[in-house]
Structure 1
Amino acid sequence: MSAETHTTNPSAVTVIGLGPMGRALAAAFLAAGVTTTVWNRTPGRDRELVAAGAVSAASPEEAVAASDLIVVCVVDYDAADFVLRRPEVTAALKGRTVVNLSADVPARAREAGEWAAGHGVRYLDGAIMVPTTVVGTPHGVFLYSGPKDLYEEHKPVLDTLSGEQTHLGEDIGRAAAFDIALLDIWWTSVTGYMHALAIARAEGISGRELEPFAQGIGKILPPAFTEGAAAFDDGEHVATINPMTSAASTMAHIIHASEAHGIDASLMRAAEGMTRRAIGLGYGGDDPSRLAELLGRGR
């Protein structure tokens, strides 16, 4: 039977890539009663899934042939291409749908979409915005981009991953763009917190002592996100609380305290440098949302 006339189970799914996230995805599909075929380049990672009812494919082309919907979750697009662009796998993919949940940059997602279209492969890009422990629970967050009708067609199976499922638009790169922007917030925040813990310890403050007050800082962020987004979109960078001159002064204190203890302050020096450049351009009285505008101009 050719790929164009395949008649696989419409409620079936193949998961390619069985790292921690891939295993979590496959387990969630299985728990929801979806017929699930799995394949991983390194053998042996499918034992628990097979015990739970998954079908282990001997090759990626066999895995692809088992389902109309193929979910790929590997480390990046280089790894995805290594599997999907083998001639025998590409041939088996023709007429089927790939949902690529691997992480990479928007340009790679768009290139993958072009490749898929050129080989008769239906394609959606996606991003998983939660850790493995949340997949399959009501707290999951999954983002998708690409043809809306294709997303709607496979939504019943994708919905079995539970949580919040959002289609972001037809541009295939939008899910990756959201992913990059949101991970920027996450890693900037986490590294900032690690830096704060280092300063606290140098001053004789334990992490557990600092943590309740850090939670308090965290509670201030949601309204700051809302106000900053509106200011950026509207181009109205009026400082309602702290202008950038005040922010730069605070940053200088953090740098001084860090370096007095021999703690690397390069992260805060970068933030202070951006802020002082904005001040030098005459924006000292503005809200920090002005920085996003200047960064977008390459200033």
Structure 2
Amino acid sequence: MRDLDAGPVTVIGLGLMGQALAGAFLRDGRPTTVWNRTEGKAGELVAQGARLAGSADEAVAASPLVVVCVSDQHAVHGLVEPLGDVLEGRVLVNLSSGTSQAARDTAEQVAKRGGAYLAGAIMAVPATIGTAQATIVYSGPKAAFDRHEPALRSLAGRTAYLGADHGLAALHEVAVLSLMWNVLNGFLHGAALLGAAGVDASAFVPLAKEGVSTVSDWLDGYARQIDEGAYPVLDSTIDTHLAAMEHVVEESEALGVDAELPRFVKALAERAVAGGRGGDGYAAMIESFRTPASA
């Protein structure tokens, strides 16, 4: 649905994600200025009604809301550094990936130029931008978020504000990435085990999905235990889990499948047991993650 009161926006960075962001603003009827170091990437957006700025300064000056989506935080710093006073009174929303400290550093950089900074993290792929399937989270000054939330809602079905700390969006992004890679690596290792016995990966999918769903159902309870700092045994102790982990290592080695991942998982559990957590529920493993092994 088009926003009849839609104000102008600028999108800087026209990779696949940047083009998706600008396209979503255009579909909602927002006057959209775009800029990219490689001008040719703007052609399709210009055909849809976007205005191509001749420079980054011109792009920033065109709108009170400037959305940046470039390769990484280093590129953001390089973009902001020469802008000067053109940022004064404007809100820069950075949707590029990076670390929490880099977000805080960029916030200082923008503040020195008179602007406000919102850090964002996109939990979606380009094809879902502007649809109910996309989630984008933000952190930074609440007043800036509230002022531009109607525009930001053009980009995702779920738009969430996490808090005033500029680093919170990046922290949530890397936390989700950690979860994603651990789940995917577990699936791939499991598929390698079954593949050694001639089982196709596609045949593993139904049982794998059921396992992921079961683990997903545990998360609320684990979160409560973590927040309360108490880890009752609801199913198995870490000692019991450790014994099962040894089976995964043995099976991997017997089948000629790389056992580095299950050995690593087992080593983490052994560290928790050495720290006196063997009789606790599995959520107590977080105490090991909170302290680097070298400490």
Query: Which band: TM-score by shorter chain?
Result: over 0.9
User: Could you tell me which residue of structure 1 aligns to residue 58 of structure 2?
Assistant: 62
2:177 equivalent to 1:171: no
Match of 1:76 among 61, 72, 89: 72
Specify the alignment match of 1:4 in structure 2: none
Alignment root-mean-square deviation, CA:
1.6
Q: Aligned partner of 1:286: which letter? A: D
SS of residue matched to 1:71: strand
1:33-65 CA deviation, whole Å, 9 max, x = no partner? Answer: 111111112231111111111111222112111
Q: How many residues align?
A: 289
Q: Distance in 1 between matches of 2:84 and 2:186?
A: 44
Q: CA deviation at 1:281?
A: 2.4
Rounded to whole Å, the distance in 2 between the matches of 1:10 and 1:257 is 60
Say yes or no: does 1:39 pair with 2:35: yes
2:75 match: secondary structure:
helix
Instruction: Report how far residue 161 of structure 1 moved.
Output: 1.5
Report how far residue 73 of structure 1 moved.
Answer: 0.8
8 Å CA contact retained: 2:6, 2:30: no
What is the letter of the counterpart of residue 49 of structure 1? Answer: L
* Structure 2, unaligned runs of 5 or more: none
Question: Deviations for 1:151-177, whole angstroms, at most 9, x for unmatched residues?
Answer: 011111111113111111111111111
- Report how far residue 19 of structure 1 moved: 1.2
Q: What secondary structure, in the 3-state scheme, does the structure 2 residue paired with 1:242 have?
A: coil
User: Partners of 2:17 and 2:90 in 1: how far apart?
Assistant: 22
Runs of 4+ off more than 4 Å: none
CA distance, structure 1, for counterparts of residue 211 and residue 183 of structure 2: 11
Match for residue 120 of structure 2? 126
TM-score, scaled relative to structure 1: 0.92
> If the length of structure 2 is used for normalisation, what is the TM-score?
0.93
Structure 1 CA distance for aligned equivalents of residues 279 and 62 of structure 2: 61
Residue 188 of structure 2 is aligned to residue 194 of structure 1:
yes
- Specify the code of the residue in structure 1 equivalent to 2:193: I
Which of 270, 289, 297 is 2:291 aligned to? 297
Render the CA deviation track for 1:89-134: whole Å, top value 9, x for unaligned.
2332222110001111111111111121122121111111111121
Taking only the aligned residue pairs, the percentage that are identical comes to 39
